[in-house]
């Protein structure tokens, strides 16, 4: 299951970074935002019961 989540992340990472760059205006910051979102997603994926994890990964995250 964890390898499926990692595969999902790697498959969509560049698109997520592109999207985040448009929002934050800086690619390095966007990479950090995407990484933070991945860490939250990875930690909660087993508890959330998400049927469409790609949608959850791309959903805007509230600050920690």
Measured CA to CA, the distance from residue 21 to residue 34 in angstroms comes to 10
Q: Is 49 left (phi over 0), alpha (psi -120 to 50) or beta?
A: left
pLDDT at res. 64: 47
Question: pLDDT by residue (tens digit) across 12-23?
Answer: 999 999 999 999
pLDDT band at 24 (very low <50, low <70, confident <90, very high): very high
**pLDDT of 25-54, one tens digit each?**
999 999 999 999 988 888 886 665 555 555
Residue 51 phi/psi, 5-degree rounding, is -85, -25
């Amino acid at each position: 299951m964890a390898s499926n989540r990692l595969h999902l992340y790697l498959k969509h990472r560049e698109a997520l970074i592109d999207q985040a760059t448009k929002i934050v205006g800086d690619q390095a910051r966007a990479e950090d935002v995407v990484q933070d979102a991945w860490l939250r997603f990875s930690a909660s994926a087993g508890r959330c019961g998400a049927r469409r994890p790609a949608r959850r990964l791309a959903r805007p995250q509230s600050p920690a």
